[in-house]
Chains A and B, each alone.
Chain A
Amino acid sequence: MKNFRLYILRSSIRGFGSLMGAASIIALGIFVYVAMSDILENLTLQIERYYQINQIADVFVTLDGISSKNIEQLKSISGIADVSGKMAVNARLLLDGEDKFITVHLMSYEDSDSLNKIHNSTIIKYENGIFLGKKMVEANHYKDGTEFTLLINGKPKKSILAGICFAPNYVYAIPSSGSIFPDGEIYDIGSVDIKTMEEWTGKKDFYQELGIRLKPGYTYEDVRNQLIDRLSQYGISDIREKENQGSYAMVNKQVRQLKSIGTILPIMFLSVSIFMLYVLLKKMVEKDQSVIGTMKALGMTDRELIASYMVQGIFVGVIGAIIGGLLAIPVGKNMFTLYINLFSLPDSSYHNFINSRVRGLLFAIITSILAVYLGVREILKITPAQAMRAKAPETVFNLKLPLNIENKVGAMERIGIRSIARNPFRGCLIILAIGFPFSMTSILFSFNQVTEQMYFQQFDMIQTYDEQITLLSANSSIKTANSSMNLNGVKKSEGIFQFTVQLQNQNKTEFAKLYGLNKNSDMWRIMDIYGSYYQPPDDGIIIDSHTAKKLNIKKGDILEVTYAGLSSEKIKIPVTEVIVENFGSSCYMSGEGIQRFWHSKPMVNTIIIDAKSGYLETLQKQILNAKQVTWLVDTNRILKSYKEQMKSTVLMVNMFALISVAAGGVLIYNISMINIRERIMEFGTLKLMGGKDYEIGRILLFEQCLYFILGFLAGIPGSLGVRCLLEKILSTDAFTIVLFTQIGAYFKALVICIIITALSYSAQVRVVKKIQITEVLKERE
């Protein structure tokens, strides 16, 4: 059988381009798989190791403050193995010449910390030394020994940079409001030893953040209610299990997205390569029918014949896997850098894993063997008798055109129409080959615009103000409104009251941010993802769909809301709307509604400001000097950081769009080439009869145009499918993505498909020009 395999090998060399086309599509799939696997493996290994070494807790609690003695008493709750507390405060960082509003989430560290251990870059302690998050140090180019002033509870404290710190619960460090991407220039964590923290805050033995370790066999739900009961007297504002902890959840979200992309895209590409190899081998077997019949007549078994063709599949798979595995090295490393930049981890080294390549190789070989088997199983149907005679012409479907069309189209176009009608399988292949890149690129090109629009919509139509200032403490709304209007450059301002509340429905409890907004405001409105606006209600609460789902609550239900800052009672509030939002898990009422339900005076702890044209900088400088301001949200800054962070996503999306175009191009080109090779005899005969190259070109052009239109139409439902898939992958608790295909993206995809089709058409025309009539005359059939 050695010589038959040699024959197959030589046949393969003749069809080398097509096989390499299939190999390149496999390579793309394997490349995405290996790159994503390597990134995932690097990320998860480093993150898990870090979590393990630094003892990330199982449950996280935020409260006003609790003593270590009371913390110790929590261990008596059945199911709790350990509790560790940290003092925490948001501090403003001031530096000579610094014009940014920088906030540091300062936490204390002690040698006795057993959970959520802070990792500092050095053990050398400076007097008043502070360790800052890596992102902040790198983004602002701070050097060890840099002297700062920290504004803690409005009081300045002198400090010196001692080094870098990391915390397992702040791997993804974002503030509690304002952004969903880390922006190290203006926000990060910081750590100081407990004694300094006590000195700076003026509070002793008073911890704000707790980490809790559960005993084996116990779940969060087992301890949750007891913890809430015990801690309600200490002003609990948040409790959540590890899976829902801000940083942990965001890291998991990124890992999940990577996993989804690393699974779905390779499956897509490998499916395309199965399809392509299947077509190739099917055509090859059809062409080799006489050879296969002869070999059967000579006594070769089906198994031997199939096995000989399988070698091709293995060859293509191995080549694809090698190319894909090699491509994954530089691309994987660069993509990993983009991802790791989102996180703060002490170790950010990248390794190429052999396991992912071995798995990639196996996938590629299995894919190829499967495709080849599907393609060559026709061998089983070929009888040795077929070697004895030429293949009988198949019954053709003679498409009758309406007479008025028949008379209008030329002879070449008629040949084209009949050719399409008598070979529907070939037609379907080309239509699918055009539809695939069209669907992929139209959605991927839309993705950039949609996510951008999602963000701009948030700041153009919902939060339209320029600056959001969070005050050190709540004030009367009239006093605050007056003082904010005194700032130079304020066009208009509004005061709002925002606080974290505990929402309860039956036995389900969630913590969420409640915003007390102003009615008829044009600075902060409530809008769902479908563009409908809602007025903040006086007589109820609007709740977002994620939170509603967790609480199992719907419009019209009564929600129990607790905010210890105003009342220790559970306030019963009806849900007036459940809305789907792009970002976050929030709920809304009017300021009046808060007063009504909590029987409170008008209160404001946040000011939103629209600056007069050209006064933004002046305004920011005044805010920088205001000691009562603890937090500033600058919408321009958020958009800038968004654009910065989206660069990686845009790069990745563009890369996948490029890969899809490449895969589609290879697919269209190869199928067109298979098509033309099958018709050498037909076109050769036409030439023999005096047909000119351009006339044959007209047949091909007509066919290609028709296939293109059908492929384009098939691509539209295809794009809907890809859209649903991407929406599912990308939407999380933090934001919901509703993709809609942009006309511009459709146009771009259309242009790309036209270019690919035109290239394959010109390649076909070149083949037609090279047909030698004498060679055609020699052909037996």
Chain B
Amino acid sequence: MDAIIKTKNLCKVYHLGEIEVHALKNVTFDIYRGELVVILGPSGSGKSTILNMIGGIESATSGELIYQDMELHKSTSKELTMYRRAHVGFIFQFYNLMQGLTALENVELAAQLSENPLDPFMLIDQVGLSERIHNFPSKLSGGQQQRVSIARALCKNPDLLLGDEPTGALDSETGVQVLSLIYNFHIKFKNTVVIITHNEKIAQIADRVFYFKDGELDHIKINEKPLKPEEVDW
């Protein structure tokens, strides 16, 4: 299979004063083009760190991290910026919408950063917010804000869609709706999706599940028959 992300002996060490925290220890895996990967693990397991590194937000202390042919572990800050701009879409736990921009404007903002964006109106419509395009985030519920966040992430037409606990701040019903959106877009646009979560049930929608523990990749589980979010028993 065609790997979009390859990691080899990836390590990340944080220095907190005199203490060294080994957030990632010799992590090696591949993520294939078009698959949906869920990274599971308790707090401090290193799942956020690996997502940030895949997203070009943080750099590795050692090891290799390759996106297609691009060696992210050797990339400069400028190159990582251009990588994020061209290839990555983010969905944040707390939505991270611009409070001073309307729903539509938030999505358009991503379009302005991309060379080959999707139509913001279409995306807003597809996330079910066509009635609220001119609402500011303060006038939207948490679920609605996360839908705007998804539309914003997808608007860039990214190869990689990364979700950092996308349902972490939502109630279960809204969480399912949000996951359904991500899943449906994944099916529709065939992009690669990586989601990190505490919630083991989300793992059922993944093609593969990476289990992280104490900064190490404990094991990988392949779902032979991934479920649709609505099929999961929440």
How far apart sit A293 and B93, CA to CA, in the bound complex (Å)?
A: 14
Q: From A14, which residue of chain B is reached at the shortest CB distance? A: B100
Nearest-neighbour CB distance to chain A for B214, whole angstroms, equals: 20
Q: For B109, list chain A residues within 8 Å (CB).
A: 3-4, 7, 298
When the two chains form their complex, are residues A387 and B92 in contact, meaning their CB atoms are under 8 A apart? yes
Given the interface contacts A2-B112, A296-B81, A385-B52, does A780 sit within 8 Å of B94 by beta carbon?
A: yes
**Distance from B169 Cβ to chain A, minimum over Cβ atoms (Å):** 9
Looking at the assembled complex, report how far the CB atom of B103 sits from the nearest CB atom of chain A, in whole angstroms: 12
Q: Is the CB of A1 within 8 A of B92?
A: no
Asked if A249 is at the interface (CB within 8 A of a chain B CB), the reply is: no
Q: Which single residue of chain A is at the shortest CB-CB distance from B101?
A: A7
Closest to B162 in A: A297
Chain A residues with Cβ below 8 Å from B110 are: 298
A332 sits at the interface (CB 8 A): no
Distance in Å: Cβ of B165 to nearest Cβ of chain A:
9
Given A385-B52, A385-B57, A385-B58; A3-B81 close (CB under 8 Å) = no
Contact A11 B113 (CB under 8 A): no
Q: A296-B57, A297-B90, A298-B152 are in contact. List 9 more A-B contacts (CB 8 A).
A: A1-B112, A3-B101, A3-B108, A7-B100, A7-B109, A14-B100, A294-B92, A297-B55, A387-B96
- CB of A781 to closest CB in B, whole Å: 9
Chain A residues with CB under 8 A of B96: 290-291, 293-294, 387
Q: Which residues of B contact A (CB under 8 A)?
A: 48, 52, 55-58, 78, 81-86, 88, 90, 92-94, 96, 98, 100-101, 105-106, 108-110, 112-113, 138, 152, 156, 164
List of B residues within 8 angstroms of A302 by Cβ: 81
Q: How far is the CA of A652 from the CA of B99 in the complex (A)?
A: 47
Are B100 and A297 within 8 A (Cβ)? no
Q: How close is B63's CB to chain A, nearest CB, in angstroms?
A: 18
**Interface of chain A, main secondary structure:** helix
Nearest chain A residue, comparing its CB with the CB of B82: A299
Shortest C-beta distance, A279 to chain B (Å), equals 21
Residue ranges of A at the interface with B (Cβ–Cβ < 8 Å): 1-4, 6-8, 10-11, 14, 290-291, 293-294, 296-302, 383-385, 387-388, 778, 780
Query: Could you say which residues of chain B place their CB within 8 Å of the CB of A300?
Result: 81, 85, 113
**Please, which residue of chain A has its CB at the minimum distance from the CB of B53?**
A385
- Contacting pair B112 A3 (CB below 8 A): yes
Give the CA-CA distance A778 to B81 in the complex, in Å.
Answer: 32
Query: Which residues on the A side are within 8 Å of B84 (C-beta)?
Result: 296-299, 384
Cα distance, A4 to B107, chains bound together (Å): 11
Determine the chain B residues whose CB is within 8 A of the CB of A290 once the complex forms: 96
Closest residue of A by beta carbon distance from B77: A302
Contacts of B105 in A (CB 8 A): 3, 6-7
Q: How far is the CB of A10 from chain B (nearest CB, A)?
A: 4
- Chain A's closest residue to B49 (CB) is A385
Bound-complex Cα distance A302 to B84 (A): 13
Residue of B nearest to A778 (CB): B138
Distance A11 CA – B99 CA, assembled complex (angstroms): 9
A713 to B147, CA, bound (A): 55
With most chain A CB atoms within 10 A of its CB, the pick from B52, B85, B113 is: B113
Q: What chain B residues lie within 8 Å of A293 (beta carbons)? A: 96
Contact of B85 with A10 in the complex, beta carbons under 8 Å: no
Chain B contacts of A10 at CB under 8 A? 100-101
The answer to whether B156 and A298 have CB atoms under 8 Å apart is: yes
| A8, A14, A387, A778 — most chain B CB neighbours (10 Å) | A387
Q: Which residues of A contact B106 (CB under 8 A)?
A: 3
Q: Sample 21 A-B pairs with CB under 8 A, ordered by A number.
A: A4-B112, A10-B101, A11-B100, A291-B96, A294-B96, A296-B57, A296-B81, A297-B55, A297-B90, A298-B113, A298-B152, A299-B81, A299-B82, A299-B84, A299-B85, A299-B113, A300-B113, A301-B78, A383-B57, A384-B56, A384-B84
